């Protein structure tokens, strides 16, 4: 077989994965309203894509305050827990594993989404950044609105968010997930604490790199204590700076965080890598350094070809390879790679975010 490494089984903290293909988290905004509740259509979508050894769900808000975009699902109500059970049962029936991604957007929100002022490490508005709502636009399209100015979090807010991450993790395990991924990437709340340009605090959560990783580490430690280290992963995005997150110190900060996460013995670090054509590439020396500082599973997700994924595993720089849009339009993506078959293209960009039907969601064909 051409891609022997990609098709090898893998042991992720006791979860036996049937291959090294990971379906990456992708926001699709298909939850039922009111209540942002996962539903049978979402269960069908994930079940179709359980050809991946591991699925990471779309980002899932841990509270109404943590929500930044319309119709994204939550993990803080009983109705949401019951909805997610449809998803986990369907995926497990097809022999795959699934982790839920725990999400708080921080300052990347608007009162037009959830009726609340955003919260953040500092009262700094993200420049040139929007979120979306659905207000009857043509084709059911999302309407983008600017983010609001956030409120600087008091210590009580920090303590409350940590508790929400813990409760979200417990709820995810109750819903049948094999583990949880703490979303510390892409300019959202935890990433806002990590970066010197968005975190101007002068208390123990700001200033030095050691202080700026404190929020991430406290959340991770609390989640590990609640559900177990083998069920806890963390997503980071060292080379992504959109949402007004350009920080000259971020690489050193991420590496410091990796060392601290290694001490907590979490299941994995998931590198979110840019997937647009002219995006910055993660240099090889960063991967080598990360492998030296973190001795558990490393996941790389970006616009990688199977050849690139195979080589990264061969070089022992990563263990699992995440694919996003390839799985979106090709639910049987691993089989297509194995057969060197044609790939479905995304049929309609209008269906990427939102919509309550199968169109552009569960109607992509499998190989015949």
Q: Beta partners for 55?
A: 23, 98
* Active-site entry in 45, 132, 188, 361: 188
Q: How far apart are CA 355 and CA 332, in angstroms?
A: 22
Sequence-distant (6+) residues with CB within 8 A of 24 are 56, 301, 322, 323, 324, 327
Sequence-distant (6+) residues with CB within 8 A of 159 are none
Q: Exposed, middle or buried, 267 (CB in 10 Å: 0-12/13-18/19+)?
A: buried
Of residues 237, 132, 159, 146, the one with CA closest to residue 192? 237
Residue 1: helix, strand or coil by DSSP? coil
Q: How far apart are CA 5 and CA 79, in angstroms?
A: 40
Pairing of strands 54-61, 97-103: parallel
Residue 264: helix, strand or coil by DSSP? helix
Pairing of strands 143-146, 297-301: unpaired
Rounded to 5°, angle at Cα 103 from 56 and 150: 155
Catalytic status, residue 188: yes
Sequence-distant (6+) residues with CB within 8 A of 324 are 23, 24, 25, 26, 275, 301
Which two tokens mark 139? 């084709």
Sequence-distant (6+) residues with CB within 8 A of 276 are 303
Residues 211/216/221/225 CA torsion (nearest 10 deg): 150
Put residue 244 in one of left, alpha, beta given phi > 0 → left and psi -120 to 50 → alpha.
Answer: left
Which sequence positions are flagged as catalytic? 188
């Amino acid at each position: 077989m051409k891609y022997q490494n990609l098709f090898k089984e893998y042991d992720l903290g006791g979860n036996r994965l049937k291959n090294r293909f990971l379906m990456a988290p992708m926001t699709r905004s298909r939850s039922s309203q009111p209540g942002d509740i996962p539903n049978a259509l979402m269960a069908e979508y994930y079940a179709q894509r359980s050809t991946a050894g591991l699925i990471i769900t779309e980002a899932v808000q841990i509270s109404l305050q943590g929500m930044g975009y319309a119709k994204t699902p939550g993990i803080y109500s009983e109705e949401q827990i019951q909805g997610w059970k449809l998803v986990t049962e369907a995926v497990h029936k097809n022999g795959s594993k699934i982790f839920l991604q725990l999400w708080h957007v921080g300052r990347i929100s608007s009162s037009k989404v959830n009726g609340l002022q955003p919260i953040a490490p500092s009262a700094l508005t993200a420049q040139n950044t929007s979120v979306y709502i659905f207000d009857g636009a043509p084709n059911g399209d999302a309407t983008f609105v600017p983010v609001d100015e956030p409120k600087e979090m008091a210590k009580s807010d920090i303590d409350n968010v940590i508790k929400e991450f813990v409760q979200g993790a417990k709820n995810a395990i109750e819903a049948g997930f094999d583990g949880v991924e703490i979303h510390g990437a892409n300019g959202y709340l935890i990433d806002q604490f990590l970066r010197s340009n968005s975190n101007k605090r002068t208390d123990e959560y700001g200033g030095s790199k050691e202080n700026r990783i404190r929020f991430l580490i406290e959340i991770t430690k609390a989640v590990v204590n609640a559900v177990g280290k083998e069920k806890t992963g963390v997503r980071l995005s060292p080379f992504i700076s959109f949402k007004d997150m350009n920080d000259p110190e971020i690489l050193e900060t991420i590496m410091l965080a990796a060392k601290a996460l290694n001490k907590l013995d979490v299941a994995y670090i998931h590198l979110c890598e840019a997937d647009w054509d002219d995006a910055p590439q993660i240099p090889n020396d960063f991967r080598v350094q990360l492998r030296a500082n973190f001795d558990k599973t490393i996941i790389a997700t970006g616009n990688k070809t199977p050849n690139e994924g195979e080589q990264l595993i061969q070089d022992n720089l990563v263990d699992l390879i995440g694919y996003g849009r390839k799985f979106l339009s090709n639910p049987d993506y691993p089989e297509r790679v194995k057969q060197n078959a044609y790939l479905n293209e995304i049929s309609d960009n209008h269906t990427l975010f939102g919509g309550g039907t199968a169109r552009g969601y569960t109607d992509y064909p499998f190989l015949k």
